[in-house]
């Protein structure tokens, strides 16, 4: 666990029976940490299976999803979380990379961070700026572990920071708790939008916009979805509306 993030909630939970029960008392407060005002997303697809036809299509669908969603109403609705020093606006997709390599059946968060740092050192992905966010997608059949917890048991995805490196991890939705009856693409759009909005408003978990009882902007509304520009995305908590929007 990163010292900077402590025990702050930073995962997408499995879809469970609690769906739709929004804490009516939720209210995010700003903890003075950094925000990603103009996020620059790089997608990283780890594993040779992403080169195979069906998965390669899924990867390009996810890139198209980011190209659209980063300039959409999903980001506009985050403007209420702008601060005097950071205005939250549209982002861009800075790049993408598919890593043609075998991936173990279990990959730990520390290995994912080391992999991204290796790519940065090698210049294989766009270099870091204050707005950089790296999204790592794992292949089907790979379990991700993080702080002693595992994907499909405790979480469907998460975002975190390692030093100045902001990243989100998207295990393949291999279980019903993470596919939630959706296609893999739709399920990944839900969890990716969740982590995207949280990475923008709370890149250092617990140090941006956070609610001590309910967590980050997406946690309060976990698995409540809507359709935006034809994509299934997660609703996010709005302080102004006092609801998931
Ligand atoms: Zn979350």
Q: How far is the CA of 194 from the centre of ligand 1 (A)?
A: 6
Q: How far is the CA of 47 from the centre of ligand 1 (A)?
A: 25
pLDDT per position as a tens digit, 129-165 = 999 999 999 999 999 999 999 999 999 999 999 999 9
| Angle at CA of residue 200, ends 135 and 149, nearest 5° | 55
Q: How far is the CA of 214 from the centre of ligand 1 (A)?
A: 10
Report DSSP letters for 86-143, one per residue.
Answer: ------EEEEEEEE-S---SEEEHHHHHHHHHHHHHHT-SPPP-TTEEEEEEPPTT-E
Q: How far is the CA of 217 from the centre of ligand 1 (A)?
A: 7
CA distance 129 to 184: 30
Mean pLDDT of all residues belonging to the chain: 94
CATH architecture of the domain covering 34-244: 3-Layer(aba) Sandwich (3.40)
**Residue located via tokens 């707005």:** 131
Tell me the CA end-to-end span of the chain in Å, nearest whole number: 31
Q: How far is the CA of 100 from the centre of ligand 1 (A)?
A: 29
Q: Where along the chain do its domains lie?
A: 34-244
- Predicted structure pTM score: 0.95
CA distance 230 to 64: 12
Q: How confident is the model at residue 13 (pLDDT cuts 50, 70, 90)?
A: confident
Q: How far is the CA of 122 from the centre of ligand 1 (A)?
A: 30
pLDDT per position as a tens digit, 100-136 = 999 999 999 999 999 999 999 999 999 999 999 999 9
Average pLDDT score over residue span 34-45: 98
């Amino acid at each position: 666990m990163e010292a900077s993030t402590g025990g702050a909630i930073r995962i997408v939970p499995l879809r469970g029976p609690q769906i739709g029960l929004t804490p009516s008392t939720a209210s995010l407060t700003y903890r003075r940490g950094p925000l990603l005002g103009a996020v620059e997303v790089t997608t990283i697809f780890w594993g040779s299976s992403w080169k195979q036809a069906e998965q390669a299509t899924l990867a390009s669908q996810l890139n198209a999803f980011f190209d659209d969603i980063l300039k959409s109403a999903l980001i506009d609705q985050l403007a209420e979380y702008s601060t005097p020093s950071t205005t939250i606006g549209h982002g861009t997709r800075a790049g993408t990379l598919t890593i043609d390599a075998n991936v173990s059946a279990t990959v730990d968060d520390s290995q994912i961070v080391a992999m991204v740092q290796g790519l940065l050192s090698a210049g294989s992905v766009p270099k870091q700026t204050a707005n950089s966010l790296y999204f790592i997608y794992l292949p089907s059949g790979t379990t991700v572990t993080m702080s002693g917890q595992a994907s499909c048991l405790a979480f469907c995805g998460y975002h975190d920071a390692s030093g100045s490196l902001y990243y989100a991890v998207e295990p393949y939705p291999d279980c019903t708790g993470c596919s939630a009856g959706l296609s893999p693409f739709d399920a990944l759009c839900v969890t990716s939008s969740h982590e995207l909005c949280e990475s923008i408003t709370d890149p250092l978990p617990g140090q941006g916009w956070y609610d001590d009882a309910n967590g980050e902007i997406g946690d309060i509304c976990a698995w409540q979805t809507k359709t935006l520009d034809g994509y299934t995305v997660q609703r996010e908590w709005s302080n102004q509306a006092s609801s998931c929007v």
